[in-house]
Amino acid sequence: MLSPTYPIRTARLLLRPMTGDDVEPMLRYKSLPDVVRYVPYGPLSREDIAERITTRWGRTELTEPGQGMTLAIEEQGTGRLVGDVVLFWHSAENRSGEVGYILAPDAMGLGYATEAAEMMLRLAFEELGLHRVVARLDERNAASARLAERLGMRREARMVDEEWCKDEWCTMLIYALLEDEWRAANAV
Ligand SMILES: CC(C)(COP(=O)(O)OP(=O)(O)OC[C@H]1O[C@@H](n2cnc3c(N)ncnc32)[C@H](O)[C@@H]1OP(=O)(O)O)[C@@H](O)C(=O)NCCC(=O)NCCS
pLDDT tens digits, residue range 149-187? 999 999 999 999 999 999 999 999 999 999 999 999 998
The response to whether residue 148 sits with its C-beta less than 6 Å from ligand 1 reads no
- For domain 8-185, the question of CATH label 3.90.870.10 is answered with no
User: How far from the centroid of its chain's Cα atoms is residue 148's Cα?
Assistant: 11
The response to whether residue 39 sits with its C-beta less than 6 Å from ligand 1 reads yes
Distance CA 17, CA 6 (A): 8
Distance CA 143, CA 50 (A): 28
Which pTM value belongs to this model? 0.97
Residues written for the chain: 188
The response to whether residue 175 sits with its C-beta less than 6 Å from ligand 1 reads no
The response to whether residue 134 sits with its C-beta less than 6 Å from ligand 1 reads no
Q: Which of 10, 144, 171 to mutate to test the pocket of ligand 1 (most atoms within 8 A of CB)?
A: 144
Q: 175 near 135, Cβ under 8 Å?
A: yes
Q: pLDDT of 17-40, one tens digit each?
A: 999 999 999 999 999 999 999 999
Domain coordinates in residue numbering, the chain: 8-185
Scored b (16 or more CB within 10 A) or e, 58-75 reads: ebeebeeeeebbbbbbbb
Measure 3 CA to ligand 1 centroid, in angstroms.
27
